[in-house]
Structure 1
Amino acid sequence: MLRLTLDMDDVLADTHEKLINIVLNDFNTTLTLKQLQSSALRDLLHPKQLTKIHRIINEPGFFADIPVKDDAIETVYELSKYYEIFVATACMEFPNSFRDKFDWLKKHFNFIPWTNIVFCGYKSIINSDYLIDDHVRNLAAFKGEGILFTAPHNLRETSFKRVSSWKEVSELFLHRS
């Protein structure tokens, strides 16, 4: 059985959307929703605002209630019938995220065994046939086939096959001829 590894933030979980809501509701900003959805926050926010965002991300509970990406649960469940599914999330930068992320995965993706959840830093250690991730740095170091999941911070990237939704993931992996 082929192995398919999935990133969590901005692939399974709509982390950027939660951050947008924080910026729009809690920051003094003139940025619009459209601007925040079309660029990386690091390119839009003042350094002091970025520091505040990093503090918020590192607070216990931040990752506990992030919305699931549309169609992710159903698609991953279908994929699990044909692929060995792993989740690899680079959470070493935010050590308070471990419990939240584990509980979030158990809540939304309880069909993925705990043995197939990998908390890591650098994803070059992942031994899998495919990796779906939103960061090119993870895909570049990956030895299998990397697939870029569209996010505001990677819109200009052209070096990897791209998917923009879980429906596209389904088409790519479940509806092959």
Structure 2
Amino acid sequence: MLRLTLDMDDVLANTHKKLVNIILNDFDSLLTEEQLHSKALKELLHPKQLKRLNKIIDSPGFFADIEVMDGAKETVYRLSHFYEVFIATACMEFPTSFKDKFDWLHRHFSFIPWTNIVFCGYKSIIHSDYLIDDHVRNLMAFKGEGILFSAPHNLQNRAFKRVANWEEISELFLPVA
């Protein structure tokens, strides 16, 4: 059985949407929602705002209530019938995220066994046939086929096959119904 590994943030979980909502509601910013979805936040925010945002990200509870990406739950469930599905999330940068992420995955993707959840730094350690991730740096070090999940911070990259949503992942990996 082929192995398919999925990233969590901005692939399964709509983390960027939560960050945009925080910026729009809690920051003194003139940026619009459209602008905040057009580029990486590090390109748009003042360094002090980025520092504040990172503090928020690293606080307990931040990852607990992030929305599931549209179509992710249903598609991953279907994929699990044809692939050995793993979830790999790089969470060493924000150590307080471990419990929130684990609980979130259990709540929304309970059909994925805990043995198939990997908390890591760089994803170069992942041995899989496919990795779907929103960060090019993870795909560059990956030995299998990397697929880039579109996100504001990677829109300019053309080095990898790209998917825009879970419908496209379904078309790519699932048999025709």
Q: TM-score range by the shorter chain?
A: over 0.9
After TM superposition, where is structure 1 displaced by more than 6 Å over at least 4 residues in a row? none
Q: Which residue in 2 is equivalent to 1:169?
A: 169
Structure 1 portions without partners, runs of 5+: none
Ranges in structure 2 where 5+ consecutive residues have no aligned partner: none
Shift in Å, 1:38: 1.0
Tell me the secondary structure at the aligned position of residue 38 of structure 1: coil
Between the aligned partners of 2:169 and 2:61, the Cα distance in structure 1 is 29
| Aligned residue type for 2:83 | Y
Deviations 1:106-136 (A, max 9, x none): 0000000000000000100000000000000
Q: Under a length normalisation based on structure 1, what TM-score does the superposition of the two structures give?
A: 0.99
Structure 1 residue 175 displacement after superposition: 3.4
Q: TM-score scaled by structure 2?
A: 0.99
Q: Partner of 1:83 in structure 2?
A: 83
Deviations 1:136-158 (A, max 9, x none): 00000000000000000000000
Q: Partners of 2:46 and 2:175 in 1: how far apart?
A: 44
Backbone CA RMSD of aligned residues? 0.6
Amino acid at match of 2:160: F
Give the equivalent residue in structure 2 for 1:96. 96
Letter of the structure 2 residue corresponding to residue 14 of structure 1: N
Alpha-carbon distance between aligned partners in 1 of 2:126 and 2:39, rounded to the nearest angstrom? 28
Q: Letter of the aligned partner of 2:119 in structure 1?
A: F
Q: Please give the alpha-carbon distance, in whole angstroms, between the structure 1 residues aligned to 2:29 and 2:91.
A: 28
For 2:27, the equivalent position in structure 1 comes to: 27
Matched to 2:17, the amino acid is E
Partner in structure 1 of residue 133 of structure 2: 133
1:154 paired to 2:154: yes
Task: Give the letter aligned to residue 16 of structure 1.
Answer: H
For 1:171, give the aligned amino acid. Answer: E
Q: Whole-Å Cα distance in 1 between the matches of residues 40 and 18 of structure 2?
A: 14
Match for 1:149: what amino acid?
A: F
Structure 2 residue aligned with 1:60: 60
> How many residues are aligned here?
176
SS at match of 2:103: helix
The secondary structure found in structure 2 opposite 1:124 is helix
